[in-house]
Amino acid sequence: MGVRKRQSAELRKEAQKSQAFAKLLNVPSSPRKMRLVVDMIRGKEVFRALGLLEFSNKEAAARLRKCLLSAISNWEAKNERKAENGELYVSTIFVGPAPMLKRLRPAPQGRGYRIRKRANHVTLYVDTIDNKTTKEDK
């Protein structure tokens, strides 16, 4: 491995030390419905995001709250200390489609209408707030 490549790999590893993630796979709701909830918490401080999710009346909010708690505990395990209020924020969060279940519903005159039962995958990254300010300065 060349010197430049090694240096950039070390910088990338150093940046990932303060970052933790959690994935939520095969959630049985459409990606569009999940994105409505995801957009509420993107870029927010994690404890504020937990409050938003707890009092949201969307069904996807409960599942996303569990994923956010998992990401916070992953960060705590990685850094071997508790997360304090105002320290972490949701740096990246995105929703992608999962495999679709296709079913047939009986329709008039011997036809069959196709039912598509959609699902989604959610990936959530949390990072420290001091990294947010240094990234914006560059």
Separation CA 29–CA 33 (nearest Å): 7
In this predicted structure, what is the pLDDT of residue 85?
Answer: 86
Q: Are 41 and 49 in contact (CB under 8 A)?
A: yes
Whole-angstrom Cα distance, residue 102 to residue 74? Answer: 35
* 3-state DSSP assignment of residue 99: coil
| Contact between 71 and 22 (Cβ < 8 Å) | yes
Mean pLDDT of the chain: 92
- Are residues 40 and 29 in contact, defined by beta-carbon separation less than 8 angstroms? no
pLDDT in tens, 65-123: 999 999 999 999 998 889 888 899 999 999 999 999 999 999 999 999 999 999 999 99
Over residues 20-37, the pLDDT tens digits come to: 999 999 999 999 999 999
Residue ranges covered by each domain of the chain: 20-131
In the chain the first and final C-alpha atoms are separated, in Å, by: 27
Cα-to-chain-centroid distance, residue 104: 32
Predicted pLDDT at 132:
67
Tell me which CATH code domain 20-131 carries.
3.90.470.10
E strands present in the chain: 20-27, 88-97, 101-106, 112-117, 120-128
